[in-house]
């Protein structure tokens, strides 16, 4: 099993990439700390893991709060004895997020609090625990929009994910000789509730689809497969990367320097 006896904290575990990753990680032998603000759905994720023969606990937490992030790491060590993988996946995409003129400061600040500060806090408290375990992997969910911008304006979301990429590279350099790898998972447009609620008209969805060489939205389970690789020892020489899983989108539109 590719993640046998590893302990993974996964934020945003109530749905989408987080839920699929929790289930997939557990199928490869990992013990799961499923973290989310949505208690009911988060507990359902943990129950699904256990129903499939895995081990999981649920921790209700707001990743924008330092005390909650510290608590989820403590829960991992107290429940399973260590922490090997920190998957900072929780994120929001607000419908009111538009261009610089129309986006309010409150939308900007809320987006940054979850998408950027939440990743920072996950790393802040996760890194010491991973160090105590002798090393491991940090995966930060970014996005293709951080590399090329979004066809449908979402300035706060795009900026927050750009920050995640920059922070990932910095942390990768700082901790490279401590056996702590840090990578950014960059999904393309996905058929998840988060994106479909944002792309709430056929016109908006088609505007995204027309850019995708594969002609379809990705699936959360496809991101989970990539996350398993980054969490496992198979990626032992990979750190500081923008790990794109985007159906060929950036290859079609981003010009190499």
Q: Mind telling me the catalytic residues?
A: 157
Strands 85-88 and 55-60: unpaired
Q: Which H helix or E strand runs over 186?
A: strand 180-187
Q: Is 139 helix (H, G, I), strand (E, B) or coil?
A: strand
Q: Is 212 helix (H, G, I), strand (E, B) or coil?
A: coil
| CB-neighbour burial class of residue 227 (10 A; exposed 0-12, middle 13-18, buried 19+) | buried
* Both tokens assigned to 168: 């990932």
β-pair partners for 10: 34, 87
Q: Which of 168, 189, 18, 25 is nearest to 91 (CA)?
A: 18
The size of the chain, in residues, is: 257
Query: Which residues, at least 6 apart from 103, have a Cβ–Cβ distance to it below 8 Å?
Result: 96, 97, 155, 156
């Amino acid at each position: 099993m590719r993640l046998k006896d590893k302990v993974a904290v996964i934020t945003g575990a109530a749905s989408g990439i987080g839920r699929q990753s929790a289930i997939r990680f557990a199928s490869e032998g990992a013990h799961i700390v499923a973290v989310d603000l949505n208690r009911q759905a988060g507990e359902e994720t943990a129950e699904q893991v256990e129903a499939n023969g895995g081990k999981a606990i649920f921790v209700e937490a707001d990743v924008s709060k330092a005390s909650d992030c510290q608590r989820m790491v403590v829960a991992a060590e107290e429940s399973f004895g260590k922490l090997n993988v920190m998957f900072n996946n929780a994120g929001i995409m607000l419908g009111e997020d538009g261009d610089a003129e129309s986006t309010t400061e409150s939308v900007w600040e809320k987006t940054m609090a979850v998408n950027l500060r939440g990743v920072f806090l996950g790393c802040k408290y996760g890194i010491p625990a991973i160090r105590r375990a002798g090393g491991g992997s940090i995966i930060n969910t970014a996005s293709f929009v951080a590399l090329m911008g979004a066809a449908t304006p979402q300035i706060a979301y795009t900026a927050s994910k750009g920050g995640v990429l920059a922070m990932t590279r910095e942390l990768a350099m700082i901790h490279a000789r401590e056996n702590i790898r840090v990578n950014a998972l960059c999904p393309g447009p996905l058929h998840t509730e988060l994106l479909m609620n944002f792309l709430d008209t056929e016109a908006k969805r088609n505007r995204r689809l027309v850019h995708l060489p594969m002609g379809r939205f990705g699936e959360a389970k496809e991101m989970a497969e990539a996350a398993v690789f980054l969490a496992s020892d198979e990626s032992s020489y990979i750190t500081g990367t923008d790990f794109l899983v985007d159906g060929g989108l950036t290859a079609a539109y981003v010009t190499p320097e």
